[in-house]
Structure 1
Amino acid sequence: MARNGKISSKGIGGWPESERPRERLLRQGAQSVTDAELVAILLRVGVQGMSAIELARHILEKFGSLRALGEAPLSALFAVKGLKGAKAAQLVAAMEVARRVSVPDGRKRITIKNTNQAEAYLRSRLQGLPEEHFRVLFLNRRGTLIEDALLAVGAVDQVRPPIRLLVARALQANASAVILGHNHPSGVADASESDRLFTEDLYAALKPIGIKLLDHLIFGERDTFSFADNGLMDEVALNVG
């Protein structure tokens, strides 16, 4: 209950209805509740000694913002006292729903014919992730996206799908061209020696079967590095011969 302007930590169920975040959201809309209250609604209940709203405030103080919370790895959530099992799953699910809502609607046919289009499509899928994700876009002869596949997730500079797997997926999709994309959690968009070697090896594997490797995009915090725009695809072609 409210006492001297402060909310008791005995549980949201004991608050006046006008002060309960869930009821206020339903009555006045989502814009009427604070970040902490949104998190509290997802948590549903608190833990011993803390109401859901107090736990939500503690979580946001620890991570700094909703965006930082959404970008945190699951292990960081588990490190917060009282945030285990169902509570952690509910938060992760909500953040993933928000991420997927920002992704272009999969029901629309997507055509990718240049670096800007590939960057715009992949950025919403790769920006701000705490781990390195490696995605591959499989395109037909007209540049229409056939499949967008997440083929590897893991630590920095260790995320490379097996060449054999990638070639098999390209053949299975009946793709005519491929675009690679991965993020650097460090925030720096630059091609490492490992990135260059992998790109060259894949180009060499795809060329004999008539599938073009059009580009390899690397996403940092704000910038994007394109092999094609920086002339590295031409170097790869020369090296492979």
Structure 2
Amino acid sequence: MIPGGEIGTVQVTFLDSSLHLIEHQCCHCVSREDIATIIGSALFAGAAGIMLTQHFDSQEPRPTPDETAWTGRLFVACEPFDLILIDRIIFGPKTHFSFRERGYLDH
């Protein structure tokens, strides 16, 4: 976790129910307080889903426990609004880490 409560810079993409792009916010600094902002922006855009991507310089792109907990809080916060956290993918130089593929975003 980055000092000050931030988990890092991510790309936030809002998609419709057919997974078509509605809006993309580049370099969105995400902290614990930004969950409400992300959900509000998704609702304002008329999105059905949210996709997060992030780039790490490390060879093994693995989230910290705080990043995993934050992603879980966003996942739970989406549910009352019928929003889907489609995935959060962390890209490294040669590999990636997908929260969906690893089972973190299953009910």
Whether the TM-score (by the shorter chain) exceeds 0.5 is yes
Displacement of 1:222 in angstroms is: 1.4
Contact persistence 1:134–1:160 (CA under 8 A):
no
> What is the match of residue 221 of structure 1?
93
Q: Which amino acid aligns with 2:45?
A: A
Task: Calculate the TM-score normalised by the size of structure 1.
Answer: 0.38
Matched, 1:174 2:46: yes
Higher relative contact order (CA 8 A, sep 6+): 2
SS at match of 1:167: helix
Instruction: Count matched residues.
Output: 98
> Which is strand-richer, 1 or 2?
2
Structure 1 outlier segments of 4+, above 6 Å:
none
> What is the match of residue 67 of structure 2?
195
RMSD over equivalenced CA pairs, Å:
1.6
SS at match of 2:105: helix
> What is the match of residue 146 of structure 1?
22
> Which is helix-richer, 1 or 2?
1
> What is the match of residue 20 of structure 1?
none
Displacement of 1:172 in angstroms is: 1.1
Contact persistence 2:72–2:104 (CA under 8 A):
no
User: Between Structure 1 and Structure 2, whose CA radius of gyration is higher?
Assistant: 1
Percent identical: 29
Separation in 2 of the partners of 1:203 and 1:147? 19
Q: Which runs of 5+ in 1 are unaligned?
A: 1-131, 153-158
Separation in 1 of the partners of 2:89 and 2:42? 18
> What is the match of residue 9 of structure 2?
133
Q: Which runs of 5+ in 2 are unaligned?
A: 1-7
SS at match of 1:198: helix
Separation in 1 of the partners of 2:37 and 2:104? 24
Task: Calculate the TM-score normalised by the size of structure 2.
Answer: 0.82
SS at match of 2:72: helix
Separation in 2 of the partners of 1:205 and 1:231? 18
> What is the match of residue 14 of structure 1?
none
